[in-house]
A = this chain, B = another copy of it.
Amino acid sequence: MTHHLPEHLVAGYRTFLEKRLPAERERFRELAEAGQHPPTIVIACCDSRAAPETIFNSSHGEIFVVRNVANLVPPYEPDGEYHSTSAALEFAVQALKVEHILILGHSGCGGIHAALSPNADPLSPGDFIGKWMSLLDPVAKAMNGNEQMTSRERHAALERVAIRHSIGNLRTFPMIRDLEAQNKLTIHGAWVDIANGDLWSMDPESGDFERMNFETA
């Protein structure tokens, strides 16, 4: 038969069918019947090296996942247009009643690169990346002016600043603010170094990121 899909996906699906599905068939069926109940929504980047399922070795049904460029959350805009990320948040929080929201950033983010290249030409006449990354305008400028940091350091710094900025935006949603106040919802930040797999989690008090290690756990 003709598969109508890119060959690498056909090959990958075949491996899934042969290697993974047989052991999980029962779980697939159960989750289809009972519905999903993931405890956590993860907002991650589209980057092919930043799949949260890989970093967290997630099982089927474990995490509800939004992926957009640079893992951004826009501020609450109830009168606005259709908003992809806000819709997913609303569904996760109100319908699925997740207990955790995690914003997962990563090193080498192309969206952050765009935010740090304000004078670059738009990628297309529509300049969708330019508009999308303008969500970081309030915080990107201070970083752009800093010539003492290397390009990579500016990137890594803005990747973290952006996570905190998105967390601030999360708290402009009344439903999130209320549930957090009731201790029914916890907000987390993390950043993964895609060069070596190091994961840095954010201290909710200070906003600092610290590399997770298990040597003393």
Q: Do A57 and B1 touch across chains, with their CB atoms under 8 A apart? A: no
* Chain A interfacial residues counted at CB < 8 A: 138
Number of copies: 4
Q: Do A32 and B13 touch across chains, with their CB atoms under 8 A apart? A: no
Q: Do A61 and B49 touch across chains, with their CB atoms under 8 A apart? A: yes
Chain A facing B: main interface SS: mixed
Name which of A3, A6, A63, A190 has the most chain B CB atoms within 10 A of its CB: A6
Chain B nearest CB, measured from A171 CB (Å): 14
Selected contact of A49 from candidates B60, B95, B132, B143, CB within 8 Å: B60
Ordered by A's residue number, 22 sampled pairs between the chains whose C-beta atoms are within 8 Å are: A1-B210, A1-B212, A4-B210, A5-B188, A5-B190, A6-B100, A13-B57, A13-B212, A17-B197, A17-B214, A36-B47, A46-B65, A46-B92, A65-B67, A68-B87, A80-B81, A86-B128, A87-B128, A95-B129, A139-B148, A143-B146, A153-B208
